[in-house]
Amino acid sequence: MWDYSDKVKEHFFNPKNAGAVADANATGEVGSISCGDALRLTLKVDDDTEVILEAGFQTFGCGSAIASSSVLTEMIIGKTIDEALQVTNQDIAAQLEGLPPEKMHCSVMGREALQAAIANYRGEVWKDDHEEGALICKCFAIDAVMIEEMVWANKLRTVEDVTNFTKAGGGCASCHEDIEAILEKVLAEKGEKFDPGAAPVAQPEKIAAVKTPLTNLQRIKKIEEVLESLRPALMADGGDVELVEVIGNTAYVKMTGACNGCQMAAMTIAGIQQRLMEVMGEFIKVVPATEMAKLTNIEVA
């Protein structure tokens, strides 16, 4: 069974705002019956203030689909529709204290139902702009469609390329066979052959590895430099990282944005630690800043 957070269970076992709103003036229906999820969101919007007075959901789906729908209604009631549109799928996931990577699409469905309902209120037609494929990389929740598109768009040739451009395959590495299969397929469509030994299309910016022992100041500067180089990838996913403190060989970081509340944050932290150790040539432990409060000999700023 999935490792659902208590919050997911709470919303699943006692859903809020279940059922259709009686005199709704906005309806959004999204989903994918083939993958077992579909959601109808009904809203009652005050025509003068554009405030969402009531929201109700009807969901055909799994535990996290029902929980995502339920928490979404709670999050948007009382907001204006413009404010409500600011709610991202990461916000929904964070409100649920995280979702397993395989289940992040449930939060996406919630966000899409909201967009569809507001489009319906405004008399517009909502169009979905993304397609979902089979989940390939479970560490970073990257699906087949995403990888295929990146391989096409960036003329990727190797698993390393795919990892550099999408992060897929950069964690536990057990999906490398599946990534190779995608490369074989796309390259065959382009009339090319997959060669695992091909040179990478684009080298990610490399920071020179340190050879000599570091002073604490040098260490902090170097850590900042590495974090800076990783920042674009994190921000591409709507997240960010901030260095809070360095004590000895332990770096305390704060994960923000989409990284905050994502169950994959631990994986991301492990990835940062790996990169830091590669560059600095010494053992570095990366710890979430929230753990710092547990240390009694540190005064928290």
Partner 1 sequence: MVDIYLDNNATTKVDHEVVDAMIPYFLEQYGNPSSIHKFADGVARGLKQARQQVQALIGCEHDSEIIFTSCGTESNSTALLSAIKAQPNKKEIITTTVEHAAILNLCDYLEKEGYTIHRLPVDKAGRLNLESYKKLLSDQVAIVSVMWANNETGTIFPVAEMAELANAAGVMFHTDAVQAVGKIPMMLQDTKIDMLSLSGHKLHAPKGIGVLYLRRGTRYRPLLRGGHQERGRRAGTENTASIVGLGKACELALRYIEYENTTVKELRDRLEKGITESIPHCFVTGDLYNRLPNTTDIAFEYIEGESILMLLNKAGIAASSGSACTSGSLEPSHVMRAMDIPYTAAHGTIRFSFSRYNTMYEVEEVLKVMPSIVKTLRKLSPYWEGDAPVANPEQAFAPTYA
Which string of x and - marks every residue 9-48 that binds partner 1 (by CB under 8 A)? Answer: ---xx-x--xx---------xxxxxxxxxxxx--------
Distance CA 135, CA 182 (A): 12
Q: Is 172 a catalytic residue?
A: no
The residue type at 53: L
- Pick from 46, 83, 124, 131: which binds partner 1 (CB under 8 A)? 131
Position 60 contacts partner 1 (CB under 8 A): yes
| By CB under 8 A, residue 282 contacts partner 1 | no
Mark 146-182 as b/e (b = at least 16 C-beta within 10 Å).
bbbebbeeeebbbbbbbbbbbbbbbbeeebbebbbeb
Q: Are 240 and 257 in contact (CB under 8 A)?
A: yes
Among 65, 186, 233, 241, binds partner 1 (CB under 8 A): 65
- By the rule CB under 8 A, 142 interacts with partner 1: no
Polymer length in residues for the chain:
301
CB of 159 within 8 A of CB of 179?
yes
The CA distance from 48 to 1, in Å, is 46
Q: Which residues make beta-bridge pairs with 143? A: 135
CB closer to partner 1, 108 vs 272: 108
Cα–Cα distances in Å, from 193 out to 150, 155, 157? 17, 12, 9
90 lies in the binding site for partner 1 (CB under 8 A): no
> Smallest gap, in angstroms, from Cβ of residue 33 to partner 1?
5
Q: Which is nearer to partner 1, 133 or 204 (CB)?
A: 133
Q: Which stretch binds partner 1 (CB under 8 A): 64-72, 147-155, 207-215, 245-253?
A: 64-72
Q: Is 175 a catalytic residue?
A: no
Q: What are the residue numbers of the active site? A: 35, 106
Residue ranges that bind partner 1, judged by CB under 8 A: 1, 12-13, 15, 18-19, 29-40, 57-66, 102-103, 105, 108-109, 112, 116, 126-128, 130-135, 138
